[in-house]
Amino acid sequence: MAIVKPFKAVRPSRDKAALVSSKSYEIYTPEMLHSKLAFNPFTFLHVINPGYKYHKQDVSGDLRFKLVHNRYLEFKEDKIFKQDKSPAFYIYKKTTATNSFCGIITATSVEDYHKNVIKKHEGTLKERELLFENYLKNTGFNAEPVLLTYPDNDVIKTIIEKYKKQRPEYEFSTTDKDLHLLWVVDQKEDIEQIIEAFKKIDTLYIADGHHRSTSSCLLAQNLAKENENHTGNEDYNFFMSYLLPESQLSIYEFNRFIKDLNGFTADEFLIELDTFFRIEKRGQELYKPKEKHHFCMYLNGDFYALYLRKSIYKFTDSLSKLDAEILYQTVLKPILGIEDIRNASKILYSQNKTDSLELKTKVDTGDYKVSFGMLPTTIKELKGIVDAGLMMPPKTTYIEPKLRSALTIYEF
């Protein structure tokens, strides 16, 4: 049974929504960030980059978090942000050149996370958990929802379709040509139907935002200890999420780029690969896998097709069938000596959504010796691994939609 709760979102006024909302802070290059801050006084980037006001870009730690809180208060004082008077759900639709996504922004339960009703597919780093927990505690808000997915549900779909026929609260396009629409669900009957529909859903899966969800749970534990009158209903016992039907989730793969061959020559490396793979040289033909357990490799100016020898490699569980895990167990670890696949000094990951020639171009520059590509993970594979209590390797999935910050803000 999944618990969802409406909340009183703090959000931009209708006339400023397009100017206020931003992409995730980490996406912007320093040049892009400076341009946004210099020419848009309403962008939420001013809140999360508070040092700009004082011409200081190196503000960090607790001081930065406190200044974020102050800039946030200023946005509220200047009526750039307002808080809804009654709790609501928020239907959000994003349309890109190739896809359309439509789901519901809600408050989801920390208790569900602990009970494994909300399941994760990636591990988290303790250092990042603590950093974001400290950020949340100092600022008092979260402006970017965790992306959760759930099995398609007719009741929820009917309510969403009902609101999509109405005029949206927000309707704007961004410079990347994406269209953004948001509707406010504040009718009691619709809210109750949504709550009851999610109560009948056994599991929600985290698609994106593992550190944000884990940090929210950590914050809730700490605030509960500090609160002598803790009831479990306080706002800190929930975190903001965007719930999207499984059928609308888009999953892309990550390419892998390796900096050296661990002492092997190219010919010796190919011989090492022969144990687990049937190898076909494709020359300058760009090979893209069409089946699971097939891999693309670019080495020494040529593309190769690698086909897993299933008579040699044994499947033991759902994780062992995952292509990213197969590549790690047969190539990255035993041949290339990469024990820690988070080690940025040896391996680079890059999502394969936009540049199909990247496998070649990055190696041809001389920065990397070999690259690997594979098919994207399916939602069925993801759920199978999670339901078995296993974790996927890092950088296995690049999942869309990527959500904007500050369309709705959750305070606690």
Which residues, 6+ apart, have CB-to-CB distance to 274 below 8 Å?
none
Rounded to whole angstroms, the Cα distance separating 265 from 354 reads 31
**DSSP one-letter code for 25:** G
Which residues partner with 308 through β-bridges?
277
Length of the chain: 412
* Residue 104: strand, helix, or coil: strand
**8 Å CB contact between 243 and 207:** no
**8 Å CB contact between 326 and 293:** yes
The amino acid at 335: I
**8 Å CB contact between 135 and 216:** no
Note the pLDDT of residue 40: 97
* Residue 60: strand, helix, or coil: coil
Domain boundaries, given as residue ranges, for the chain: 4-249+401-411, 254-396
* Residue 411: strand, helix, or coil: strand
Q: For residue 175, count other CB atoms closer than 10 A to its CB.
A: 6
Rounded to whole angstroms, the Cα distance separating 367 from 388 reads 38
Q: What is the pLDDT along the chain (412 residues), one digit of tens a residue?
A: 999 999 999 999 999 999 999 998 888 988 999 999 999 999 999 999 998 887 777 778 889 999 999 999 999 999 999 999 999 999 999 999 999 999 999 999 999 999 999 999 988 889 999 999 999 999 999 999 999 999 999 999 999 999 999 999 999 999 999 999 999 999 999 999 999 999 999 999 999 999 999 999 999 999 999 999 999 999 999 999 999 999 999 999 999 999 999 999 999 999 999 999 999 999 999 999 999 999 999 999 999 999 999 999 999 999 999 999 999 999 999 999 999 887 778 999 998 776 778 999 999 999 999 999 999 999 999 999 999 999 998 889 999 999 999 999 999 9
Rounded to whole angstroms, the Cα distance separating 207 from 40 reads 31
Which residues, 6+ apart, have CB-to-CB distance to 187 below 8 Å?
none
| 126-139 vs 61-77: helix crossing angle, rounded to 10 | 40
Residue 222 in tokens: 């700490």
* 254-396 has CATH 3.40.50 classification: no
**8 Å CB contact between 194 and 188:** no
Rounded to whole angstroms, the Cα distance separating 86 from 127 reads 36
Question: 193, exposed or middle or buried, with CB in 10 Å at 0-12, 13-18, 19+?
Answer: middle
Which residues, 6+ apart, have CB-to-CB distance to 300 below 8 Å?
266
- The strand pair at 294-299 and 410-411 is best described as unpaired
Rounded to whole angstroms, the Cα distance separating 332 from 101 reads 35
DSSP notation for 316-337? -STGGGSHHHHHIIIIITTTT-
- The strand pair at 238-245 and 146-150 is best described as parallel
* Residue 129: strand, helix, or coil: helix
Note the pLDDT of residue 74: 96
Rounded to whole angstroms, the Cα distance separating 92 from 244 reads 10
